């Protein structure tokens, strides 16, 4: 049975990474687990087209992008 808890806030906690490393390695010393973090791709709010992050306007629908509004 799954959980709906958002645990992303714990990704950067060193004690969580250490505990996970011990769990995966079976208790071996000096074992460091690599935890991949997903980087979300920017998308147009209007048409949901994937953007590179450098556009001022969406090439599909012409909507002004968020990263240029800041």
The predicted-structure confidence for 22-54, as pLDDT tens digits, reads as follows 787 777 767 776 767 777 888 898 999 998 888
Structure tokens at 37: 């973090």
Q: Is the separation of the CB atoms in 24 and 31 below 8 Å?
A: yes
Average pLDDT over the chain, rounded to an integer: 78
Is the pTM of the predicted complex or chain greater than 0.75? Answer: no
Neighbours of 44 (CB within 10 A): 20
The string of DSSP codes covering 22-48 is HHHHTS-TT-------PPPPPB-TTT-
Which of the four pLDDT bands, split at 50, 70 and 90, describes residue 59? Answer: very high
């Amino acid at each position: 049975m799954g959980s709906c808890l958002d645990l992303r806030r714990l990704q950067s906690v060193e004690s969580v990474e250490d505990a996970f490393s011990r769990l995966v390695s079976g208790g071996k010393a000096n074992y460091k687990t690599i935890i991949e973090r997903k980087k979300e791709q920017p998308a147009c709010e209007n048409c949901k087209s994937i953007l590179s992050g450098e556009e001022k306007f969406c090439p599909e629908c012409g909507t002004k992008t968020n990263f240029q509004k800041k």
